[in-house]
Amino acid sequence: MRALTLSEVLGSEDEFFSEYFNRKPWLRRAAVEGDSRAVLSLGDLDHLLHAEVIRPPYIDITKGGSRVFEKTYTSQLRVQTDYVNDAIVPEHVIEHFRTGATITWNSLNHFLPTMRTFAGKLGERFSCRSDVVAFVTPAGRRGFSPHYDSVEVFVIQLEGTKHWKVWPTGPERPGDAQWFTMEELGEPVIETSLEPGDVLYLPYNTPHVAASDDNVSLHLSVMVRPRHWRDLVAEVVQSVVAADPEFGDFPLLSAEREEELTVKLRDQLVALSNRCAKLDLRRTVRDLVSSPIQQVGAKVGTFFADQSRIDHITSMTMVMKVPSTPIDVVGAAPEDTLRVEVNGHKFNFPRLLVEEVRTMESARSAGRLVAEYDQDTNVQLARACARIGLLDTVQG
């Protein structure tokens, strides 16, 4: 499997953001380069189906527009000395599929590295959370009734073909999902069959319905969860009031105190307005853009690989203090050592090491970490500091 690229999904960003984003649907033929099955194939999903680790809600089954009860395709499974009560039974899932059910694989980015990589890139581009969902539909079947979603959706056809009807994005968009009948929607603006490699963009609250043609269909719905202005304003207000004792009182709410509470509420809103007026709005916008919300289902780490790299620090390895990690002295300890706190944990470190690290402004070789110590001692101390996140190696 390989990760999708932003250009495959968005196309020309200038064209996408100026003409289509948050406005109207956009169909792009053969947008995925090469064989679309390299992104995800039915064979890949066969392997996942038979992997005991996949459980609801990561897999969901829908038949006739309604969810299938999980107990009909799960059972208890022993894992070493413990039991999993909702392990997937592949044969039961297959039987549902044979009788017309659509299989939904939710949040593939939670367990497939390539999907996680792409969700991270898309989430960063929109400063929103992104999720990747796969739909497998039997030949000639419709998974869901006409509806619109509360999320932006990029439909990516990977195997088979699927017939889509898409209606205009309405002028009023409440944000929530909603279901319709075909009669309510009238004539679609797009009616076509998606083939492998095609990408269809649906702004949030765009009505649509899809049914597979005469073959099994696999498509991805790459979702971007919008952060509306109401969400952003609420985030800013919450950040203002959370750190201000002015808003920390616990009032007694009762009808008898209506007059008093009205005056107090007015005072609180005036105080809030005054605090907001003093905000550095550019910094506030930067904080909103870099919000960790888009890292859900996309964050990656290298902790274990880093630990192995730290084990191989030599006297010639360049090391540097991690700027974001303070070292706080919390008391004295025996034999010219200090009691320090790093990342919430307490350690006894040599006084000379603490003084050297606290004033460290540039990288140096691990063997020369503290001038008074020999190379072997310095290397051991450098490894110890790196393991707790106080030092890091310098790549170069």
Query: pLDDT tens digit string along 55-108?
Result: 999 999 999 888 999 999 999 999 999 999 999 999 999 999 999 999 999 999
Q: What is the DSSP letter of 95?
A: H
pLDDT tops 70 at residue 145: yes
Residue 379 · residue 367 · CB < 8 Å: yes
pLDDT tops 80 at residue 299: yes
Phi, psi of 86, rounded to the nearest 5 degrees: -135, 45
pLDDT tens-digit series, residues 303-336: 999 999 999 999 999 999 999 999 999 988 788 8
pLDDT of residue 396: 61
Give the type of residue at 71.
K
Cis peptide before 57 (omega within 30 of 0): yes
**Looking at residues 368-381, what average pLDDT do you find?**
96
Phi, psi of 160, rounded to the nearest 5 degrees: 65, -170
* CA torsion through residues 94, 98, 104, 108, sign: positive
* Confidence band for 294, pLDDT divided at 50, 70 and 90: low
Q: What is the DSSP letter of 72?
A: G
Which spans in the chain are helix H?
6-10, 13-15, 42-49, 90-98, 113-126, 182-185, 229-242, 258-277, 281-289, 303-311, 351-358, 375-387
pLDDT tops 70 at residue 343: yes
**Looking at residues 242-258, what average pLDDT do you find?**
91
**CA–CA gap between residue 101 and residue 220 (Å, rounded):** 17
Instruction: Name the percent of the chain lying above pLDDT 70.
Output: 98
**Adjacency order of strands within the sheet including 328-333:** 328-333, 337-342, 345-350
* Confidence band for 223, pLDDT divided at 50, 70 and 90: very high
User: Alpha carbon 181 to chain centroid distance?
Assistant: 33
pLDDT tops 70 at residue 368: yes
pTM listed for this prediction? 0.83
pLDDT tens-digit series, residues 224-235: 988 899 999 999
pLDDT of residue 284: 94
pLDDT of residue 170: 83
Residue with structure tokens 């968009």?
173
Give the type of residue at 237.
V
**CA–CA gap between residue 256 and residue 259 (Å, rounded):** 8
pLDDT tens-digit series, residues 150-179: 899 999 999 999 999 999 998 877 767 787
